[in-house]
Amino acid sequence: MTLMTKAPATSKNGRRRHDREIIALAVPAFGALVAEPLFVMVDSAVVGHLGTPQLAGLGIAAALLMTAVSIFVFLAYATTAAVARRVGAGDLPAAIRQGMDGIWLALLLGAAVVALALPTAPWLVDVFGASDTATPYAITYLRISILGIPAMLVVLAATGVLRGLQDTRTPLYVAIGGFTANAALNVTLVYGAGLGIAGSAWGTVIAQVGMAAAYLVVVIRGARRHNASLRPDAAGIRASARAGVPLLIRTLSLRAVLMIATAVAARLGDVDIAAHQIILSLWSLTAFALDAIAIAGQAIIGRYLGANDEKGAREACRRMVEWGIGSGIVLGVLIVLARPLFIPLFTSDPSVKDTLLPALLVVAVSQPIAGVVFVLDGVLMGAGDGRYLAWAMLVTLAVFAPVALLVPSLGGGLTALWWAMTLMMAVRLITLWLRTRSGRWIVTGATR
């Protein structure tokens, strides 16, 4: 039986039940996702008043930190799927135990990153081509912020635990608290204590440690309530790492796509790269909305499969695909209608605007495709089908890279590059659609 063509239609009551589940998980998840980039925005706003070299240094250090953290996002994804399966199977102690394995893995990885990054911070900044005036500020911010990486990774893993437990409200509350603390600490330490850019870095580290502590309190309380062990388990940590490797490959492949696109835009000229960065910022914002539905998919699908409810998993997948299509259409229309409002916020250069507009329309047209891609990505993550996701993303990268790299030599501009990005999303859609139709992702039980 294939998912999209032969599965029985979901009843109206069933659709309403799925809708309630999706909304209950996706809305708080969206809020938490939006709160994350606000950390960097607050730092930029505070540090920006210190001077241009300080802001440039922050920009370089923040890019390095965000890259490092994004690489380890599998800590959230893999933990969500594994914990949700245990929840579906009705074994909450094992679910929390599984989550603790992910948290211990996060601590180990965080310690390794600190050990590697601290002594190499000057080299990392130099690789980014920082100016002589910005370099010392970038090194200062980076060296202090590196100390917060273990907390960042614990936050990722613990967020995955709570998502797997079908709780996206707590991550929202923790994100709001962390954002508020970060803003207050930045102002106090940068200006009140006169620490400059170092104060901004310390404020962020303290806020991240506070967020990690809040998550650990919640998880430890749950462990004690259900008599789940908190001790590190070598076999469980290794299993968490094995589950994360395919998702790491997927993430690195996706990062490579974005890096290639930016490199190609830079070769097209200053106007094109400026317009590209504006579009990429907007594209990232729409991704938060679609990713929220994907996160709901991870938690819901994992729970259904853990409960041996194949029919429920299929119906939930079908309904989430409908949500993805609908959300994509809405976002596409909003991009078109709101372009006179948000474009002036980014640029007043007529040449940038002229380059931006046709490429922006391509992005708007591609949003329904993106909606389905994000949803199916979340479904397969929730099913623990990481190996397929890794191969599918490698195939996508292999198709996208030569097409994108040919854009400048063939005389194409930014619009052609974003058509190549749309091709990338279309390839992802095809690979993910074929997998869901095959039904091979459906493996029921407490573990995959």
Question: Could you please report the per-residue DSSP string of 274-289?
Answer: HHHHHHHHHHHHHHHH
Q: Which pLDDT score, from 0 to 100, does residue 10 have?
A: 56
Across residues 248-256, what is the average pLDDT?
Answer: 92
**121: Cα within 13 Å, side-chain hemisphere:** 22
Across residues 154-183, what is the average pLDDT?
Answer: 94
**What are the residues whose beta carbons fall under 8 Å from the beta carbon of 393, sequence distance 6 or more?**
249, 250, 253, 254, 428
pTM given for the model: 0.88
Confidence of residue 307 (pLDDT cuts 50, 70, 90): very high
- Domain range summary for the chain, segments of one domain joined by +: 16-232, 243-447
pLDDT at 61 over 60: yes
pLDDT at 252 over 50: yes
Given a contact cutoff of 8 angstroms between Cβ atoms, the answer to whether 10 and 319 are in contact is: yes
Sign (positive or negative) of CA dihedral 98, 168, 67, 230: negative
Nearest alpha carbon to residue 379 among 422, 437, 447, 425: 437
Least confident of 206-220, 383-397, 407-421: 407-421
Q: Would you tell me how many other CB atoms lie within 10 Å of the CB of residue 135?
A: 19
* Dist CA 444 CA 305 (whole Å): 5
pLDDT at 329 over 70: yes
* Dist CA 201 CA 65 (whole Å): 11
Return the percentage of the chain with pLDDT > 90, whole number. Answer: 67
* Dist CA 52 CA 30 (whole Å): 32
pLDDT at 440 over 70: yes
pLDDT digits 0-9 by tens, 5-25: 344 445 677 788 888 889 999
Nearest alpha carbon to residue 147 among 199, 206, 105, 103: 206
The pair of three-digit structure tokens given for residue 435, joined into one six-digit string: 């997998």
Phi and psi for 370 in degrees, rounded to 5?
-60, -40
Q: Which pLDDT score, from 0 to 100, does residue 177 have?
A: 94
Q: Which pLDDT score, from 0 to 100, does residue 393 have?
A: 97
Least confident of 56-60, 76-80, 327-331: 56-60
